[in-house]
Amino acid sequence: MTKVPNNNAAAYAKKKAPGTKSTKAPSKKKDDEEAVEIADGWDEWTNGKALIKPPDQVVLTEAELKEEVTRILTANNPHAPENIVRYSFKERSFKPISAVDQMAVHFVLEGSLVYQDSDDSRSLKDKKGPPEENTADDTKAESDEETKPQASPAEDGGDVEDACKEDRPDSAASKADEKGPKLTNKFNFSERASQTLNNPLREKSCQTEPPPRSIFSAMANQWEIYDAYHKELQKQEKNKEKQKAPCSKKDDDKSKKKDMWLETLSDDVITNLSKATKIIERMVNQNTFDDIAQDFKYFEDESDKFRDEEGTLLPLWKFQHDKAKKLSVTALCWNSKYQDMFAVGMGSYDFSNQGHGMVAFYTLKNPSYPEYIYATNSSVLCLDIHEQHSFLVAVGFYDGCVAVYNLKETGAEPVYKSTAKTGKHTDPVWQVCWQNDDMDNNHNFYSVSSDGRVVSWTLVKNELVYTDIIRLSVVSDGPEGAQPHSFTCGTSFDFHKQIDYLFLVGTEEGKIHKCSKTYSSQFLETYDAHSMAVDAVKWNHYHPNVFISCSSDMTVRLWDHTINTPLFTFDLNAAVGDVAWSPYSSTVFAAVTTNGRVHVFDLSINKYEAVCQQVVVAKKNKLTHIRFNPIHPIIILGDDRGYVTSLKLSPNLRKQPKLKKGQELPKGPEVEVAKMEKLLSLLREPEQSSI
């Protein structure tokens, strides 16, 4: 028995009965054709199909086939840039943009279809009017159907199913018949929802053209300034040489005038440049040493409240110059007009090793470099600044010359200088001091030297005119009485503050002579002061009878010029280099020693010991000179290594006397004189009682 394949059933369906007649509508034929195609496809599907394997297919194992590969799909656009940078004018820098549009559009089609229930469709219907033609066509179709003869049930036996389908209310024909003018419902409510993409945040910015800028930068150090000056000097020398060359043409004359004009212009440029660079250098130094400047102006040592009488010294600025490291500080002097400026004389006290010297002017506003520098061929041993004319500086040298420098002049040479023809000293000049102008209003100063002469120098036109005031002689007791034996060396001198003609001279033998400008043949008084050379002698600023002296014999002595014996003697345990009175008190003075210590005394507080003893330099360094500032509570110290150190006095070192409640603080020089007189009266009472 053989099985009939499924294709026979399909073939059987294709065959028609011989006595029957097809009464199906034309639309039925389409269904028959589709059925035939499905049957043909079924035959092909039921037949066994052989799998075709390509030759280059990858062979996988069972484990690889069972392995699950996880892939995560994200909504980010892989082609969207992630490193977009925009310039932010608010912050003045480039900033990355974090928000990037991730939406990617693959297809866009703009159509003309409109929803029936939308407002646009209603407006279009209103413009076209009611559908009258459609209703007329429907009435004609109904009349035609009524006139047609009804078919017999035998004939319509084959189309029963189709008729039933057409008569159903949900059929397409019935729906087509039911179409008509649809009335709008004014109370219709419809809820629609749609999902849209959230647009990314965007930053709207306006870009404008920035204002034009120019960046200027340059180095302005000492060497570049020096090179600029050097080049300018070379230009000036070339211009002068061109001017000296003979020329006969008019063009040469015109070129000369142009060169002269350029030369004057360059000088103005140099002066303006020097002023600008000085201001900039001071600004930079004030920023660099801002802490020291704050201490100088505002710091007060609070620990002085817990000390009864002692005080301290606060280190401030330190001044030095690279070319003066091997020189010693031989002189210090404050400028009376510009209280922040002082002059420093540099040389050598080693007489077996003499060389060049230097005069430098420093200011507290610029501690890193001097304002003025004058190099000298001989060591500078002393200097003094004129009180009224602060631009004039008198200088004494080791070779016996004296000179006067004018700070207003541009040259490095002094405007006045003594020579052998004009009566210069034959030995080192130890001190110079300006005095009041003479009757012809000529400036003059005095000098003392190791040759035993005290000389007055007068500035007359372009030369120095000298006058010997006194010669320091040594008196020895002989058989014929007191006779001048020889001349002694002068080491220091000082003029009285109130009495113009009176002055003191210290000698190398340790004696102090009281002299007068009017008596050149003899001394008014001689004090046997020290056993070694007198390094300094100073009159008190307030009391007219008191002066002080110091020596290398380690002592400082206080004197009354009406008494031959010292009032006070202080042993400092080291050679004393210099001593100075304070400008604010008649009982305060300070001294420096070769062991690097500063000793500050206040006789109104303690008559026997210093109220401050402090080491301010290294042990190897020796202090040589000290000076009080005329206004500010600071002192400056010089050592044998070329360094100048500034120190601030603590409150206990400038203490005012205690007063009762309601009592005002007295002021004026009379108060300081009374304070010193009270101290001297304590020393004079025992002498008067013994008499």
Confidence of residue 396 (pLDDT cuts 50, 70, 90): very high
Helix (H) or strand (E) holding 392: strand 392-397
CA 671 – CA 543 distance, rounded (Å)? 10
Kindly tell me if the per-residue pLDDT of 273 is higher than 60: yes
Domain boundaries, the chain: 7-37+76-183
SS (H, E, C) 134-187: HHHHHHHHHHHHHHCCCCCCCHHHCCHHHHHHHHCCCCHHHHHHHCCCCCCCCC
pLDDT for position 101: 84
Condensed to tens digits (0 to 9), the pLDDT of residues 190-224 reads: 777 777 888 888 888 888 888 888 888 877 888 88
Lowest mean pLDDT among 46-60, 98-112, 332-346, 649-663: 649-663
φ, ψ for residue 470, nearest 5 deg: -160, 155
User: Higher confidence at residue 241 or residue 15?
Assistant: 241
Number of H helices, E strands in the chain: 11, 32
Q: How many residues does the chain have?
A: 691
Where is average pLDDT lowest: 110-119, 145-154, 524-533? 145-154
Q: Would you state the pLDDT for residue 104?
A: 83
Percent of the chain residues past pLDDT 70, beyond the cut: 75
Q: pLDDT-derived band of residue 488, with 50, 70 and 90 as boundaries?
A: confident
User: Looking at residue 78, what is its pLDDT?
Assistant: 83
Listed range (45-54, 114-123, 473-482, 586-595) with the worst mean pLDDT: 473-482
Which range has the worst mean pLDDT, 16-25, 314-323, 498-507, 619-628? 16-25
Which stretch, 308-312, 583-587, 681-685, has highest mean pLDDT?
583-587
Q: Which of 471, 460, 466 is nearest to 446 (CA)?
A: 466
The distance from CA 362 to its chain's CA centroid, rounded to whole angstroms, is 22
Written as six digits, the tokens of 201 are 């945040």
* pLDDT given for residue 48 in this prediction: 56
The count of C-alpha atoms lying within 13 angstroms of the C-alpha of 641, restricted to the half-sphere facing its C-beta, is 13
Cα separation, 31 vs 39, whole angstroms: 12
Nearest CA to 453 among 484, 430, 482, 422? 430
CB 612 within 8 A of CB 314: no
Whether the pLDDT of residue 451 is over 70: the answer is yes
**Helix (H, G, I), strand (E, B), or coil: what is residue 591?**
strand
- Work out the angle between the directed axes of helices 26-46 and 7-14 (0-180°, nearest 10): 170
The average pLDDT across 323-346 equals 90
- The residues near 25 (Cβ < 8 Å, ≥ 6 apart) are 159, 162
pLDDT of 682 strictly over 90: no
**Is residue 2 scored above 50 in pLDDT?**
no
Contacts of residue 513, defined as CB under 8 A and 6 or more positions apart, other chains included, come to 472, 504, 505, 507, 523, 524, 525, 526, 527
Mean pLDDT, the chain, whole residue set:
79
> Is residue 13 scored above 50 in pLDDT?
no
Sheet of 597-602, strand order: 576-581, 588-593, 597-602, 612-615
Mean of the pLDDT values across residues 563-589?
A: 89
What pLDDT is attached to residue 156? 44
Question: Between these two residues, 321 and 219, which has the higher pLDDT value?
Answer: 321
Distance of CA 231 to the CA centre of its chain: 30
pLDDT confidence of residue 487: 77
Note the pLDDT of residue 342.
93
The per-residue pLDDT for range 351-388, each reduced to its tens digit, is 888 888 999 999 998 888 898 899 998 899 999 999 88
Query: Which candidate, 317, 313, 291, 295, places its Cα nearest to that of 304?
Result: 313
What is the model's pLDDT at position 294? 87
The whole-number average pLDDT for the span 642-648 is 91
Which of the residue ranges 472-476, 564-568, 671-675 would you say has the lowest mean pLDDT? Answer: 472-476
Q: Are 624 and 592 in contact (CB under 8 A)?
A: yes
How far apart CA 145 and CA 611 sit, in angstroms, is 143
Q: Which of 142-151, 373-382, 677-686 has the lowest mean pLDDT?
A: 142-151
Q: How far apart are the first and last CA of the chain?
A: 180
Tell me the CB-side half-sphere exposure of residue 6, using CA atoms within 13 A: 10
User: Is 677 a residue whose pLDDT tops 90?
Assistant: no
d(CA 515, CA 526) in angstroms, rounded, equals 9
- Average pLDDT rounded to a whole number, residues 259-280: 70
Cα distance between residue 508 and residue 504, in whole Å? 14
* Separation between Cα atoms, residue 503 and residue 538, nearest integer Å: 10
Q: How confident is the model at residue 662 (pLDDT cuts 50, 70, 90)?
A: low
Q: Which two tokens stand for residue 387?
A: 């009180």
